[in-house]
Amino acid sequence: MTSLEELIAAPGPKRLTMTFLREIEAGAFGKLLTRGVEDNTPKAEMSKLVPGLIRMGDIFTVNKVLVPGDIITLDWIPGTGLVITAKGKVQGEPFTEPAFFKAIMSIWFGPVPADHALKDAMLGIK
């Protein structure tokens, strides 16, 4: 894959795994994710994403603190949706909207990624 569009268009399941290297308050992490979506999503599309972003924020609020070694996985399962697993436990019902999955992936693969060097490394771009 070389872009967000290729990633989204590719058939089959997809997984992004985050292993935490430092402690972070989960609510603050959720806010960072929301900010990443806002930075990569046209304003006109944001209103459609608000319910999912609120649900996602609730997931991270429940988990309180993420410490080194904690793992969060974001799994896109065709026909099911985006399944979030934190600390080994599935977090609520799947997010079924493909637009929400694309918005979440835009945090790392969009035009304004959280970290350009990380985006390039994840995409295998040198």
CA nearest neighbour of 55 among 28, 84, 81 = 84
Calpha distance 8→68 (Å, rounded): 29
Task: Provide the whole-model pTM.
Answer: 0.90
Q: 84 burial class (0-12, 13-18, 19+ CB within 10 angstroms)? A: buried
Calpha distance 19→22 (Å, rounded): 9
Average the pLDDT over 7-15 and give the result: 95
Asked if the model's pLDDT at residue 31 lies above 90, the reply is no
pLDDT higher for 29 or 76?
A: 76
Domains of the chain: 4-112 (3.50.70.10)
